[in-house]
Chain A
Amino acid sequence: MTPSFTHYSHRSRHVHKVSLLEKLSLWILIPVILIALTVAAVKLSGVNIGVEIFGNAPIAYIITAFVYSFIRLFISYIFALVIGVILALLILRSHVWERVLIPVYDVLESVPVLVFFPVIILFFIHYSLLNTAAIFILVLTMVWSIAFAAIGGLHVIPEDVLFVPKIFGLTKFQSFRKVILPALFPSLITGSLLAWAAGWNILIVAEVLHTYVPAGQNVGDVFGIGSVLVQASSSGNQSLFIWSIVVIVLAITLINIFIWQRLFKYAERFKFD
């Protein structure tokens, strides 16, 4: 019997069957190509790289840095999830709230996160709250994917389903827990995937914020894979740089396979016909 595999496609927003070849290409070929491109790019940069490129790299150090970054992103994600859901639920209050808030959210989302640098410099960095500053930047980056996915999710809940808790006299909290939150689950998973992707993107900036401050030093960086990448690059440590990329690509591939794909499959049972 041919083994059957499934894959969640963000574009079609559905889990669909894929062949073994497609599965392999998704989870093996793409990471391999990404790593090969990184190596090629480093070589093409003209730096003299020999065999030592894959030798003598502090793998444990890189993995620890990755774990630090992951925890930082996870904490940011929890904040972004709670805030994103609250922002989405506010529009449920009335059509007036929706008409007012959606344009406000659109404007806020379009504000580049780097605009908040003065706040970060004046407050977080002034008080040496560098980790908090990184989390602040990450939350601001992650929250909008979740908020807009949740808003989209609210709009696909059938009107009759929204009436059910009212008909059966559920409290607002019961209605949230039993109806709204499960109904939003598929959208929140999609939004979360995009939020994490955006989080990984901005992580490098978030972990080396201190260097953007006038007279800032690398010594003020927060420890994580982002700051390790920047340090490796600025100090010309190609081996550290490439191994960091390898760890990121492999770890994110594994997170995709073992967390996101499973969550997407689980979310199918929360979808309306």
Chain B
Amino acid sequence: MNNPILTFSNISFKYHNGLAEVLHNVSFSLEKRSFTVLVGPSGCGKSTLIKLVAGLTQASSGSLSAPQKMSMVFQNGALLPWYSAQDNVLLSFEKDSQLGVEEKKKRALDALTLMNIKELANAYPRDLSGGQRQRVGIARALAAEPELLLLDEPFSALDAETTEALHRELLNIWKSRDITILMISHSLEEAVTLGERILVMHEGRIVHEHIVKLDYPRDPTSETFGKYIASIRKELKERRMSK
């Protein structure tokens, strides 16, 4: 791979309390401007892997190279209830002492405008729906203009209609910006809808890789779409049976 933005080399991870290894010799890399989705059953190590990428935890062994400008969208938005939507987005500029307060506010508002929730700038998380909260979470992550955007099952708690709308917007953002996306999903349909590349995880290892050769926007009712799903599902089933 030419000029990867993220590289994992033989990464293993084990908790300090002596439990079994969560990740075993994981190696992969992400190409710039790619959209990769990690799928796998609960407890397969997806969340640990994304935490390692984000620097939220340290690998037990192996080497990792990740970009400086990185941001993350969390499962339930992880918004701070005591801040308005705009103030939540402002958190992404907190460390930037070069920008003035007005410029920070303007950029936060721009990020909310990008996610179509400018009018909710002064609303508090408790007054927002699940979809609106996640839009604020995405706006906060994008406001920092990251090179690598990490998404940890961001749409898992949303209804189908909202999820579909956010899928479209996420794809538009990815296409219009110089951004690489690594997303975790428990939904194979979501993975095939969004990802150029799908990494299948099982028991702490990446066991399969799929390059999805379908044009965007993808039609979940199409035969080819269904074949990708069936293929990944079959692999996961075989893994379970062989255990």
Minimum Cβ distance to chain B for residue A171 (Å): 7
Contact A270 B94 (CB under 8 A): no
Q: Is B58 an interface residue (CB 8 A)?
A: no
From B56, B78, B126, contact of A269 by CB (8 A): B126
Q: Is A71 an interface residue (CB 8 A)?
A: no
Q: Is A164 an interface residue (CB 8 A)?
A: yes
Contact B81 A163 (CB under 8 A): no
The CA-CA distance from A144 to B144 in the complex, in Å, is 40
Q: Is A43 an interface residue (CB 8 A)?
A: no
Q: Is A236 an interface residue (CB 8 A)?
A: no
Minimum Cβ distance to chain B for residue A269 (Å): 6
Which residues in A have their C-beta under 8 angstroms from that of B54?
163, 166-167
Contact B56 A178 (CB under 8 A): no
The CA-CA distance from A117 to B71 in the complex, in Å, is 55
Contact A182:B80 (CB < 8 A) given known A95-B16, A167-B71: yes
The chain B residue with its CB closest to the CB of A164 is: B78
Q: Is A271 an interface residue (CB 8 A)?
A: yes
Which residues in B have their C-beta under 8 angstroms from that of A272?
81
How many residues of B are counted as interface, with CB atoms below 8 angstroms from the partner's CB atoms?
24
Minimum Cβ distance to chain A for residue B180 (Å): 16
Which residues in B have their C-beta under 8 angstroms from that of A163?
51, 54, 56, 72, 74, 78
Best-surrounded residue of A158, A161, A167 (most CB of chain B within 10 A): A167
Q: Name the prevailing secondary structure of the A interface residues.
A: helix
Which residues in B have their C-beta under 8 angstroms from that of A179?
80
Contact A270:B78 (CB < 8 A) given known A168-B91, A170-B95, A178-B94: no
Minimum Cβ distance to chain B for residue A10 (Å): 21
Contact A182 B74 (CB under 8 A): no
How many residues of A are counted as interface, with CB atoms below 8 angstroms from the partner's CB atoms?
24
The CA-CA distance from A163 to B74 in the complex, in Å, is 9
Contact A174:B94 (CB < 8 A) given known A167-B54, A182-B82: yes
The CA-CA distance from A269 to B126 in the complex, in Å, is 8
Per-position binary interface string of chain A over residues 97-135, scored 1 when its CB falls under 8 Å from any chain B CB and 0 otherwise? 000000000000000000000000000000000000000
Contact A166:B95 (CB < 8 A) given known A95-B16, A269-B82, A269-B124: no
The chain B residue with its CB closest to the CB of A161 is: B78
Query: Given contacts A95-B16, A164-B91, A168-B92, could you give 6 more A-B pairs where the C-beta distance is less than 8 Å?
Result: A95-B17, A163-B56, A165-B91, A168-B95, A178-B94, A185-B82
Residues of A participating in the B interface, judged by any CB pair closer than 8 Å: 95, 158, 160-161, 163-171, 174, 178-179, 182-183, 185, 269-273
Residues of B participating in the A interface, judged by any CB pair closer than 8 Å: 16-17, 51, 54-56, 70-72, 74-76, 78, 80-82, 91-92, 94-95, 124, 126, 144, 152
